[in-house]
Structure 1
Amino acid sequence: MALSKSVDIVYELVGAYFHSLYSTPLKTKALTSCCIATLGNYVSQKLSRAKHLNHDSLIAFALFGFIFGGPVPHYFYQHIHKLTKHSLGILLIERILYTPCFQVLSLYMLARFEGKTHETSYAQLEKLYWPVLAANWKYLTLFQFINITFVPPMLRVLVVNLIGFFWSIYLANKRAKQTAMDRARKE
């Protein structure tokens, strides 16, 4: 009996999510991206055994997810279908044009949202851009291909959110290591 109540709750939550995604997609994607990015950053900090939570980093990931992480992909995928409907064309445009630009935006804005200056943010961007972009192309291209080609359109946002959670963990970890290295060089 207790198991069926748990399953019912899950079905209700998933149903509410899909209804919200259908009725207010931009708001839903912004809020979902905010939560996923924040949770990914939190998990990254816990996995790295940080003694204290970096609240600036949590807030930066939340703001980035809400302002950019949900809306920018929403509009990109909404308009990409005007250029091509073929999954390979979508994948190539997404990987070659969109991903490099979005990585610049994410690395720079995360640093700015943490309160870093333009110069510091730009310097961190220069150090992290190519390794992060290469990792994105290397590890996420297959998942993006599967999502675009085989996942029904209604479930694609859910799959991207799952991928985004693990990417947030990776990105937070990579940024934290770079910040620690920069701090060690100054001392």
Structure 2
Amino acid sequence: MSVQPPEEDQPIHKKLFIQYLRLLRTYPIATKSITSGTVSSCANILAQKLMGGWDAPIAWRTIGAFAATGVFYTGPVTHHFYRWLERMVPGKDQGSKVMKVIVDRFVVAPPFLLGYFYLITMFEGKGHKASVDIIKHSYWTALKMNWKVWTILQYVNINYVPLQYRVLFASAVAFLWTIYLAIVRSR
């Protein structure tokens, strides 16, 4: 049996992770929301650089829109969704596991993605008409890709990741997904 060194003797990454877990326990929605906003904005920076080149100027308003959507939409909505899903479809048997994913993929994902596209465009200051136009041109393509990419990931997340870490798991995976969405929206 190994004994952990006192916290002050641990490397900085372990200290940060311990602090993150404390914040997750103490302020779960705020921590998940800030995590989501941070991941989303970092992914958007990378997406902008991949699309425009490393010397291209950064569209800070778009980064702010992705951050705001993560903080005010993705983080809190997914926090409450995972808790709601556990109450609505209790159980750990195979039927319950599959039903949870079906609810996520076909009941929650379509309106969630719709709201995501709408809010990012609104946070960019482009207005309702631009939001609707982006949805008309990007939504169906993004939803089909969402079903392809996220279905197995959500199966793992919903059924094997502890409830308090599901938003964190989804945020980690969403880093790449957000890059994809930023590219789809910009076309």
Q: Unaligned stretches of 5+ in structure 2? A: 1-7, 91-95
Describe the shift of the 1:150–1:82 C-alpha distance in structure 2 as closer, same or farther (beyond 3 A). closer
User: Are residues 1:150 and 2:160 paired?
Assistant: yes
- Measured after TM superposition, the shift of residue 148 of structure 1 is 1.9
TM-score w.r.t. structure 1 length? Answer: 0.86
Q: Percent identity?
A: 32
Of 51, 75, 78, the match for 1:73: 78
Q: Deviations over 1:4-36 (max 9, x none)?
A: x99721111111111111111001011111101
Who is 1:13 aligned against? 16
Aligned Cα root-mean-square deviation (Å): 1.7
Describe the shift of the 1:78–1:46 C-alpha distance in structure 2 as closer, same or farther (beyond 3 A). same
- Measured after TM superposition, the shift of residue 69 of structure 1 is 1.1
**Cα distance in structure 2, aligned partners of 1:128 and 1:21:** 34
Q: Unaligned stretches of 5+ in structure 1? A: 179-187
- Measured after TM superposition, the shift of residue 154 of structure 1 is 4.5
User: Are residues 1:175 and 2:181 paired?
Assistant: no
The residue type paired with residue 21 of structure 2 is F
User: Are residues 1:92 and 2:102 paired?
Assistant: yes
Who is 2:151 aligned against? 141
The residue type paired with residue 14 of structure 1 is F
Who is 2:57 aligned against? 52
TM-score w.r.t. structure 2 length? Answer: 0.86
Q: Runs of 4 or more off by more than 6 Å in structure 1?
A: none
After superposing the two structures, state which structure 1 stretch, 133-142 or 86-95, moved more.
86-95
Who is 2:124 aligned against? 114
Who is 1:124 aligned against? 134
